[in-house]
Amino acid sequence: MSTLHPLKVAVIGAGYWGPNLARNFANSPDWRLMAICDQDGSRAQQLADRTAAVAVTESVDELLASHDIDAVAIATPAQTHHDIAMRAIAAGKHVLVEKPLADNRADGVAMVTAAEKAGMVLMADHTYCYTPAVMKIRELVESGELGEILYVDSVRINLGLVQPDVDVFWDLAPHDLSILDFVLPGGLNSVAVSAQGADPLGSGKSCVGYLSLPLANGALAHIHVNWLSPTKIRQMVIGGSRRTLIWDDLNPQQRISVFDRGVTLQRQSDVLDDAAQRRASQISYRLGDTWSPALPEYEALAKMVGEFAISIREGRSSRTDGRAALRVLSVLEAANRSLTRGGRRSPVSGSGLLLEEAI
């Protein structure tokens, strides 16, 4: 497809997710996979063998010193993201980083600032955003098919591994938050968040959690994450003033349904009679058809590495750039604060501000 020279990339971290990145870089016409870096050299070698990467190294410094690499993809534990990314940016490499961007917002701000100053692309691997379903949702929201967003309700529950280091919010909610950031007009710009969590097992962290995020114009987003559910649900409802969309990710035969059903309230300014009366008379109900768009089939990660390449080539922010990841991180940190204060609504740092102020 591309007649340009492929960009050269190295993957750092050959553990759980690194192999998926390596495979997709290796198969992409936009990229040439040059090297695998992992503290465990044999693990790096194994991955290199499978993906035909040329070089293997245990040293990030050695890797970053190479002039033969344009970009790195960081798939190491969250607490190392900041350090590696800062060094990579300093070395003049574009950076793709796994979610979460960092394990605290301050580090994330530093990463975004450094990348912008250095003119490097800093992109977050918000994989879900590149699935056919979410791409279609973004398109439908953007085109106005749904009208104004009234509410979003997302449920992401299953029998999950109780993670040793993070709670259910940090484990699962980044998916929902990054998707919201991707599809909402203007991105995820809630000024506050309320979090309700429960640790009924006494595991030391929330295993069941709920986030409420007021959106613009009186709308509300709500996220339910849960490690203890015996059934798996991955469902998001996006209620709009014109239509409502339901995304059921576990129904491959009808992942997205768009309902032309709903309640409409005419907002008239020239009506003179009393308010309640007026309101009652202005409410109407639509009971229209349901429509389920056909979705193309492709691997989300392939689309994602493509976007990474394009944003580097065009010198533009990627669709899931560092700022998007920072918005997600900011909500998670605010949720932490809300949890410690009994669910009180906590302000989201940087929300609603220009970057200069936000960071």
Query: If residue 27 lies in a helix (H) or strand (E), which one and from where to where?
Result: helix 18-27
**Count of alpha carbons within 13 angstroms of residue 228, beta-carbon side:** 13
Tell me the pairing of strands 244-248 and 228-240. antiparallel
CB of 187 vs a second copy, minimal distance in Å = 18
Asked if residue 227 binds a second copy (CB under 8 A), the reply is yes
Output the six-digit token pair for 176: 């929902």
Q: Which is nearer to a second copy, 90 or 283 (CB)?
A: 283
Selected binder of a second copy within 58, 145, 153, 249 (CB under 8 A): 153
Site for a second copy in 158-217 (CB under 8 A): 159, 162, 164, 194, 196-204, 207-208, 210, 212, 214, 217
For 29: left if phi > 0, alpha if psi spans -120 to 50, otherwise beta; the answer is alpha
Residue 276 C-beta: closest distance to a second copy, Å: 6
Output the CA–CA distances (angstroms, integers) from residue 72 to 15, 29, 76, 98, 238, in the order listed: 15, 17, 12, 11, 35
Choose, by CB under 8 A, the member of 79, 279, 298, 316 that binds a second copy.
279
Q: Which of the ranges 26-34, 74-82, 110-118, 259-267 carries the binding residues for a second copy, by CB under 8 A?
A: 259-267
Residue in 285, 315, 356, 357 binding a second copy, rule: CB under 8 A: 285
Q: What are the beta bridge partners of residue 277?
A: none
CB proximity list for 229: less than 8 A, separation 6 or greater: 157, 158, 159
Query: What residue ranges bind a second copy (CB under 8 A)?
Result: 148, 150-151, 153, 159, 162, 164, 194, 196-204, 207-208, 210, 212, 214, 217-220, 222, 224, 226-232, 237, 239, 241, 244, 246, 253-254, 259-265, 267, 275-276, 279-280, 283, 285, 287-294, 342-345
